[in-house]
Amino acid sequence: MRRLAGLLAVLPLVLLPACSSGSGGSAGASPSGTAPATAPAVPSPVASASPMPTVAGDFGTKATITLPGGQPSGQFVVNTVSEGDGPAVAKNDWVTVNYTAKDWTTGKDVSDSFASGQKPQLYQAGGGQLVPAFDQSVLGKKVGSRLLVVAPPAAAFGGQGNSSLGVGATDTVVFVLDVMEAVPQDGTIPGALTQPPATAPQIKDNGKAAPTITVPAGPPAPPTELQKYVLVKGDGKPVASGQQLVVQYTGVLWANSQQFDSSWSHGGAQALQVGTGQLIKGWDEGLVGQTVGSRVELVVPPALGYGDKAQSSVPANSTLVFVIDILAAV
């Protein structure tokens, strides 16, 4: 079993699998990188500089980036090629972007999310976890926008380059980012609830707060198999194994309706990978196939939860009840 000491402060409980020593979900391969611990100072972004690359192609498709003659200005440029009509991205929103990248210094294509086996990048905007070319560029931009980002070395890969992508420490990189979606940390699934049968835990919606989950009086004997109830049916695509989800969730114990975990206690919506063994089995089995935009209740028996080992405030052999809002999937 993974040790919980020191992890619960930074990872919600459901991210810890029942029996694993692995880490949490991964965003997958991309040119975005992580922000170095001691990154050099990044200049404030400007809307344009001379010279400037040009961009061709439609939003949502791989961009064609044409480099101008001459050397880059050294400025951090965030230029709106085309503006969307969605909400503006706020700090800590979970944002999904498609991207195309080209190394200005070498003239070589770097990477793109449209290639086979690649996915859009999902991250928290302005959270400081990714390099500024991704992290800062989307702040204040509307969903549906295409952005041209000219990233000097400090903004591209923190002045360290990226050897796996062939980007040197002094290279300027040009990115085209398509802002596909943004989910605020207090996002939740609206709509009237379809309550499960009276023998199952009942749910009270509390708006932008953790729902109240009440196990029937008694309580009756807990189920020995996974129970799934769709409280609000979303109209998005079915969740596939291996996808990253953005979710709100709350979990209580079947024995006494006592809450033991909630995303609302961790700052709001969380991102996690489903169907790959990084979560408890009840989540992997219960969420794959559900449609994005759904609110789902899962009743998870011990064998699909934490088994016969106690986990923090969850006693051994506990049946668990979750309400999960599937806000996005990448």
Give me the chain's average pLDDT, please. 90
The 8-class DSSP code of residue 170 comes to T
The values of phi and psi at residue 135, to 5°, are -60, -45
Same fold, 54-182 and 186-329: yes
Tens of pLDDT, residue by residue over 52-69, are 999 999 999 999 999 999
What confidence score (pLDDT) does residue 15 get? 53
219: confidence class by pLDDT, cuts 50, 70, 90: confident
Cα dist from 13 to 243, 260, 329, whole Å: 19, 9, 20
214: confidence class by pLDDT, cuts 50, 70, 90: very high
Pick the CATH number of 54-182 from 3.10.50.40, 2.40.128.20, 3.50.50.60, 3.40.50.1110: 3.10.50.40
Exposure on the CB side of residue 185, measured as CA atoms within 13 A: 16
The dihedral over CA atoms of 70, 74, 76, 80, expressed in degrees to the nearest 10, equals -20
What confidence score (pLDDT) does residue 29 get? 54
**Domain range annotation of the chain:** 54-182, 186-329
What confidence score (pLDDT) does residue 12 get? 54
Tens of pLDDT, residue by residue over 136-183, are 999 999 999 999 999 999 999 988 999 999 999 999 999 999 999 999
What confidence score (pLDDT) does residue 64 get? 98
The values of phi and psi at residue 298, to 5°, are -120, 130
Q: pLDDT exceeding 90 applies to what percent of the chain?
A: 81
The CA-to-CA distance between both ends of the chain, in Å, stands at 29
Token pair for 117 = 């086996």
Determine the CATH number of domain 186-329.
Answer: 3.10.50.40
The values of phi and psi at residue 13, to 5°, are -60, -40
Interval 210-221 mean pLDDT: 92
Task: Tell the burial category of 304 from Cβ atoms under 10 Å away from its Cβ (0-12, 13-18, 19+).
Answer: buried
| Residue 39 clears pLDDT 90, i.e. is over it | no
Sorted by sequence, the CB contacts under 8 Å of residue 159 that are 6+ apart come out as 36, 39, 40, 153, 169
Interval 243-271 mean pLDDT: 96
**Rounded CA gap, 145 and 115, in Å?**
21
